[in-house]
Amino acid sequence: MPHPEPGDARPSRQDAEAAVRTLIRWAGDTPAREGLEDTPARVVRAYEEWFGGYALDPGRILGRSFDPAGYDDMVLLRDIPVRSVCEHHMAAIRGVAHVAYLPDQRVVGISKLARLVDAYARRLQIQERLTAEIAETLQQVLRPRGVAVVIRATHDCIASRGIGMQGVAMVTRHTLGQFAQEPWRRDVLAVLSGTP
């Protein structure tokens, strides 16, 4: 993901809170009224949490690995919660990710797979890029024989505005190495879909 250009200093907390007050006024309300007076500070604190992925190096999350002790079949972690924000409308993206890999020399603790998903999800995203970033980072750091990532998510940008479609889910997948080739591809996608 591109970094800010030189000279594009990160705004201060005061700048961010002022921006929230501007949006409250633009929406037609008064930032100083009871109920809204603390909202700018609360929004900035929420943003620190929601976008905490920018402060993380996803590759380092996978830094500690282990010998698989002779295990050479698929490792799969299903139903990892995905909570992200659409970069086009800054609306919520909610769903689950399934991450699988074929170990070569090393494996990682399962919490690391969940943390990897979360680190990329806590950024402004599109689901397609989120899916690819998770898969490619796992491939680059762990160097397994294959990687597959599937994400199924709903997007508030389609549910709460525009066409207003409720219950529509988007599915994206990214396969690398042996998981991009048959017969492994068919096998891993069946397992990731919940039909082993």
Q: Determine whether 133 is an active site residue.
A: no
Among residues 86, 98, 139, 174, the one annotated as catalytic is: 86
Sign of CA dihedral 83, 86, 87, 89: negative
Instruction: Characterize the bridge pairing of strands 92-102 and 75-86.
Output: antiparallel
Instruction: Characterize the bridge pairing of strands 75-86 and 124-125.
Output: parallel
Q: Determine whether 166 is an active site residue.
A: no
Among residues 133, 139, 157, 174, the one annotated as catalytic is: 157
C-alpha to C-alpha distance for 29 and 100, rounded to whole angstroms: 48
Q: Determine whether 48 is an active site residue.
A: no
Q: Determine whether 88 is an active site residue.
A: yes
* Token pair for 184: 């492994």
How far the first Cα of the chain sits from its last, in Å, is 35
Cis peptide before 6 (omega within 30 of 0): no
Among residues 125, 155, 174, 178, the one annotated as catalytic is: 155
CA-based nearest residue to 146, from 63, 98, 74 = 74
Q: Determine whether 155 is an active site residue.
A: yes
Among residues 17, 98, 125, 127, the one annotated as catalytic is: 127
Among residues 37, 48, 88, 181, the one annotated as catalytic is: 88
* Token pair for 180: 């991009």
Catalytic residue numbers, as ranges: 86-89, 127, 155, 157
